[in-house]
Amino acid sequence: MPKQKTSPELLDLLNQAIAREIQVSVQYMWQHVLWKGVRAYAVKDAFKKIAIQEMKHAEAIAERLNYLGGTPTTKPTPIFIGSTLEEMLSTDLKDEEGAIVMYRKIIAAAVKLGDETTAQMFRDILKEEEEHHDVFGSLLEKE
């Protein structure tokens, strides 16, 4: 049976997704390591948990890209750690918003090509990205 039909656009989008997942997995892990202060202590484990989920996303996307005939990137998009907890969380919230937009675009591109496997994989990842967005948004709220 032949491999799934794909397009250069979809392969490029998958590589952009990998670069983003590598970026945030490092970014969130370093935020977990570099946290300071009482408020940060309460969220450091969330940074670590989400970082690990993001690395799993990178792996799954890289495997799919490889199957489709592409070569996974090893270069992350720019990493920004932040110097305060609010700066970290605000940046992370924006990164998750960007992922949500990108992953909806990937789902649409995959559906257009009839690539239900890629579309479903990104629906699952999108659900987790929306959860991450909710966590970072909630952590930014002040009582």
Tell me, yes or no, whether 1 lies in a domain: no
Cα separation of 54 and 129, whole Å? 9
Query: How much is the average pLDDT of 16-34?
Result: 96
The DSSP annotation for 74-120 comes to: -PPSPP---SSHHHHHHHHHHHHHHHHHHHHHHHHHHHHHT-HHHHH
Best CA proximity match to 12, nearest among 84, 106, 99? 106
pLDDT in tens, 44-98: 899 999 999 999 999 999 999 999 999 999 999 999 999 898 999 999 999 999 9
Q: Per-residue pLDDT for 42 more than 80?
A: no
Tell me, yes or no, whether 95 lies in a domain: yes
Select the more confidently predicted residue: 37 or 113.
Answer: 113
CATH number at residue 79: 1.20.1260.10
Q: Per the structure, how many domains does the chain have?
A: 1
**Residues of the domain holding 51:** 8-140
Q: What is the pTM of this model?
A: 0.94
Tell me, yes or no, whether 2 lies in a domain: no
What is the residue-averaged pLDDT of the chain? 94
Tell me, yes or no, whether 20 lies in a domain: yes
Cα separation of 30 and 6, whole Å? 35
**Alpha helical stretches, state H, 35-84:** 38-67
Tell me, yes or no, whether 3 lies in a domain: no
- The count of other CB atoms within 10 Å of the CB of residue 36 is 11
